[in-house]
Amino acid sequence: MMKSYLGEAFELAFQAHAGQVDKAGQPYVLHLVRVATALSDRDERVVALLHDVLEDTEVSAEDLALRFPPDICAAVEAITKRPHEAYEGYLARVAANPISLAVKLADMADNADPARLAALDPDDRARLREKYATARTLLIQLAEAPHAAS
């Protein structure tokens, strides 16, 4: 039987994101859990829990490689925005990995959830709604492009 990495991913995410809060002041780990529970595939759920760990914590790609299989690590690295990276290039990389694509779409859906946005001021709410709608459209276009399957 193949090992399930879900518990290990939750433990690492919970520890790595300890003390972090989202824009509405809620514990950040709640966002990770919502994104994971929106997905049905086991590997997608693992990546959902880890999707911000390289970007927003002290965890390194090497740390992940010691705990998770290569396909999980590759998806987490694909969904991690790099410093000074153009957003479209980032989304193209996300779109090229089926696991990171599914996780990013679930991440955007959670970030754009009206219940989450309601806690923000109207200007931030409108700006973020537009940002996520535009990014989602671009991500889907990139995923459907012939070169994305390579």
Query: Active-site residue numbers?
Result: 55-56
DSSP state at residue 70? H
Tokens of 3: 């090992």
Q: How far apart are CA 144 and CA 123, in angstroms?
A: 32
Q: How far apart are CA 115 and CA 104, in angstroms?
A: 19
3-class secondary structure, 71: helix
Residue 58 burial (CB count, 10 A): 8
Residues in Cβ contact with 64 at an 8 Å cutoff, skipping those fewer than 6 apart: 50, 53, 54, 72, 73, 76
Tokens of 86: 């153009």
Indicate the residue type of 124: D
